[in-house]
Amino acid sequence: MATDLRVSLTDRCNLRCSYCMPPEGLPWLPNSDVLTDDEVIRLVRVAVERLGVREVRFTGGEPLIRPGLTKIVAASAELAPRPQLSLTTNGIGLERLARPLRDAGLDRVNISLDTLDADRFERLTHRRRHHDVLAGLTAAVAAGLTPVKINAVLLRGINDDEAPALLRFALAHGYELRFIEQMPLDAQHAWDRGTMITAAEILAALQAEFTLLPDPAERGGAPAETWLIDGSTGLDGRPAKVGVIGSVTRPFCGDCDRTRLTADGQVRNCLFATEESDLRSALRDGADDDEIARRWRAAMWGKRAGHGIDDAKFLQPARPMSAIGG
């Protein structure tokens, strides 16, 4: 059974990243379909107490816009065994929330930053909020949500020239940078395998300026392949690392230990699943924890061996990334 639970707390977002959704946004989930704070807390508890989940990552959409986020984190931190608690965010609002989330029990954060240029950021996200993301990064370190990881997606002809600069920036501030291959999960279904920047291209761009050494650390089910950066030191005094998540060209499905819960209470046994299992109805129909756990296990048993993106029959999921979460 999976040990790493990803919980999407909302499908709504305050950015409009072009590789995720159109500038006008999307028709959001009706509030009545979205799990209440107490329903989320109960499902996280069932996952930790009965299904062996040891890591919980809160995602979105943008999880910082969920009013009950701190309450959900605090309740999750009370669970036994206590799970590792992390958050994937676009950073907007983190300047204000980093400390309260840390105090509630959050352990660390991943913050999306695809460019160092404020104008480019606005073209990519249709919002002028670059400074808020940078302020969020600083506040995360100050609050002790470390290691602070940066997630960056490179798009051909838009920001694919920034790989070395982003790494220099991360090294200068002690952030751990990971590049993520663009995935076929955009709401517009415009993803194109041919124009996607591959892991190999990202590594080549980095190796033009840095010497990357194999990372001796055990990878396990971690999505990112990591390299040590020769001659660099991280905040912890050890060699700094850079990561690449090559979901498309270097898949890691064999070691995947993730299970996903959507904001409207559906279990997804894979990021690219085209089928889901409904826990919300079971919850609201009065199912007990045994029944919830039994349904969740059954959903995971149907997990496919791989995402099949390179198969001719590959079908992009109907649910967009913004409603699945990282």
Measured CA to CA in angstroms, residue 214 lies from 217, 227, 239, 240 at distances of: 9, 5, 11, 12
Q: Which of 83, 234, 322, 324 binds ligand SF4 (CB under 6 A)?
A: 322
Residue 83 contacts ligand SF4 per CB under 6 A: no
Whether 95 contacts 139, CB under 8 Å: yes
Enumerate long-range contacts of 66-70, CB under 8 Å, 24 or more apart.
66/9, 66/10, 68/37, 68/40, 69/9, 69/97, 69/101, 70/97, 70/100, 70/101, 70/104
- Give burial (CB, 10 Å; 0-12/13-18/19+) of 216: exposed
Nearest to 43 by CA among 282, 299, 300, 319: 282
Q: Check residue 60 for interaction with ligand SF4 (CB under 6 A).
A: yes
- Interface size with ligand SF4, residues (CB under 6 A): 12
Which of 3, 112 has the CB closer to ligand SF4?
112
Residues 3-22 close enough to bind ligand SF4 by CB under 6 A: 13, 15-17, 20-21
DSSP notation for 19-48: TTS-TT---PPPGGGSPPHHHHHHHHHHHH
Shortest distance, position 321 Cβ to ligand SF4, whole Å: 6
Residue 20 C-beta: closest distance to ligand SF4, Å: 3
* Non-local CB neighbours of 74 within 8 Å, separated by 6+ positions: 104, 105
Binding string, residues 243-262; x marks residues near ligand SF4 by CB under 6 A = --------------------
Query: Residue 191 Cβ, how far from ligand SF4 at the closest point, in Å?
Result: 13
Name which of 61 and 223 has its Cβ closer to ligand SF4: 61
Using the rule CB under 6 A, is 120 a contact of ligand SF4? no
Task: Please say which residue, 200 or 318, places its beta carbon nearer to ligand SF4.
Answer: 318
Helix/strand/coil for 307: coil
Least distance in Å: CB of 160 to ligand SF4?
A: 17
Q: Binding segment for ligand SF4 among 56-64, 78-86, 230-238, 241-249 (CB under 6 A)?
A: 56-64
Using CB under 6 A, which residues numbered 182 to 241 contact ligand SF4? Answer: none
Please give the residue ranges that form the binding site for ligand SF4 (CB under 6 A).
Answer: 13, 15-17, 20-21, 60-62, 90, 112, 322
